[in-house]
Amino acid sequence: MLEHITDVKTIINASYMETRETALVTRAFIGNRIPKTKTERDVIHRQAITQQDYPLLYFSEDMRLGGMMIKTDFNALQEGDISKDEGVSGGGLDDEESVSFDEVEADSSAGKQAVQENAPRFVKTDMSDYAAFMKEVYNIINQPKYADVLEFHPVGNPVLMDISFKAMIEEAGMMFGGMLLLISLVLWLLFRSLSAVVWPLVIITVSLVWVIGLCGWLAIPLSSIVEVTTFLILAVGVADTVHILSGYLYFRFQEQVHEEALHSVFKKSGLACFLTSVTTAVGLTALAFVPIVPISNFGVTAALGVMTAFALTIFMLPLMLDIWRPVSKKRAQHPQDTTTRSHVLQIIIQKLEFLNYRYPRQIIPLFLVITIIMIIGVFKVQVDTNLVESIRDSAPIRKAYSLVDEKMGGTGSMTILVDTGLSDGVKDPRVMSAVEALQESL
């Protein structure tokens, strides 16, 4: 994985430019000339702090932190590349490049036109590649000969992708398993029937398989935001099945036989489940028109998941109830009295309904006050797309980012593409002057 590294920049090999008579010479700032005396170090120190691009990039103001920038070919490899090493410039630390002031550059417009006609297509780097790359990097910096004398604080896109990949593989699995366990517990408390626990779990599991399969056929890559779809399917899938199961048990306790109870519950709740699923799916489908690709993919997959869960509930759940019903034949033939059969939640809801009718003048103002408070809270919401902020404060990566943001030049970057509309237009002195003024302003 380390072969993906194309360049490593530190204060050792940072580009340093100086003039020699009529030539402009570029060389490594230190190279192999490692200072051995205090005088030599002082000279290098003075030269370093006078360079505009060195401070906060290669070293902090207090000189306690040093920056090392690793450049890779991730997301920069063209389709059909045979060797990753092609086009990667090497050279020793003391390599010098000299450009005479009298040289005249050749016209390269023909070459640029050829490049434009054959626009390259790049291979997207998978998250697992970032994880494998960071594993190799950590294997190096965690060696005792380095870790015993230096503290390393890795930041950057590969580090974030590594964290995200581990979260997707490890933490998402634990969260999903925990949610299934919690849902199973709630279903058992609601229905006190093993079949009423198993069948909803089967419905949502099959729904997830269908949605992930559709992602494969539609070439939608799995990402952390698409993973949210799985949790949405859990919620919606369980909601549909609970509506049908609760209605089915209600009619069974009204001394209806199995087929009659199924007919009654679908007549009563089928349309409601359909309308809630359709309106939810339509709302999610609207996200497909958002230009941000991960959000667009989430809208498509979530809408498919909601409708898949509904379809399985309508078509498969009745067949499942034919095989294994949540009420025994003995209990169906000899239903208990209404008071005993009423679930504790049903009793609570009935009491709340009575309170609503009896004390409307107290309840309405209370909820109006709460609504006003929440409206004020809406204006306090802050929009932030910084992935690092979603990581807990105690995590090493969070501390690393805070340190680099505070002591160095920051972990964020902005790239501005300037298009003059002309070949070599960026070399126009007026354009270069304008770019310099913009850079100084920023």
35 domain residue, yes or no: yes
Query: Residue 153's Cα: distance from chain center in Å?
Result: 22
The answer to whether residues 202 and 77 belong to one domain is no
The answer to whether residues 76 and 210 belong to one domain is no
Please give the pLDDT value at position 130.
92
* % of the chain exceeding 90 in pLDDT: 41
Could you give the residue ranges of the DSSP H alpha helices within 288-442? 293-315, 317-323, 329-333, 338-341, 344-358, 360-378, 396-407, 429-441
Alpha-carbon distance of 37 to 23, in angstroms, equals 30
Beta carbons within 8 Å of 72's beta carbon, 6+ residues apart: 4, 5, 6, 133, 158
Mean pLDDT of 45-64: 91
Number of domains in the chain: 2
Confidence grade of residue 250 (pLDDT, cut at 50, 70, 90): confident
231 domain residue, yes or no: yes
Please state, as a whole number, how many other Cβ atoms lie within 10 Å of the Cβ of residue 307. 20
177 domain residue, yes or no: no
What is the helix (H) or strand (E) element at residue 19, kind and residue range?
A: strand 15-20
The answer to whether residues 315 and 205 belong to one domain is yes
Q: Please check whether residue 179 is in contact with residue 332, taking contact to mean a CB–CB distance below 8 angstroms.
A: no
Question: Domain ends where: 354, 383, 406?
Answer: 354
179 domain residue, yes or no: no
Could you give the residue ranges of the DSSP H alpha helices within 169-223? 172-191, 195-217
74 domain residue, yes or no: yes
155 domain residue, yes or no: no
215-246 pLDDT, tens digit per residue, is 888 888 777 677 788 888 888 888 889 999 98
Alpha-carbon distance of 154 to 126, in angstroms, equals 20
Confidence grade of residue 117 (pLDDT, cut at 50, 70, 90): low
386 domain residue, yes or no: no
Please give the pLDDT value at position 98.
46
* % of the chain exceeding 70 in pLDDT: 87
226 domain residue, yes or no: yes
Counting Cα atoms < 13 Å in the Cβ hemisphere of 150 gives 14
Alpha-carbon distance of 250 to 423, in angstroms, equals 77
pTM for the full predicted model? 0.65
264-307 pLDDT, tens digit per residue, is 999 999 999 999 999 999 999 999 898 888 888 888 889 999 99
Domain ranges, residue 350: 193-354
Q: Using the 8-state DSSP alphabet, how is residue 413 labeled?
A: -
The answer to whether residues 310 and 211 belong to one domain is yes
- The answer to whether the Cα torsion of 284, 288, 293, 298 is positive or negative is positive
Residues paired with 26 in a beta bridge: 17, 97
Alpha-carbon distance of 31 to 94, in angstroms, equals 5
Closest CA to 297 of 209, 224, 387, 233: 224
Beta carbons within 8 Å of 89's beta carbon, 6+ residues apart: 7
Closest CA to 31 of 78, 93, 88, 123: 93
The answer to whether residues 334 and 201 belong to one domain is yes
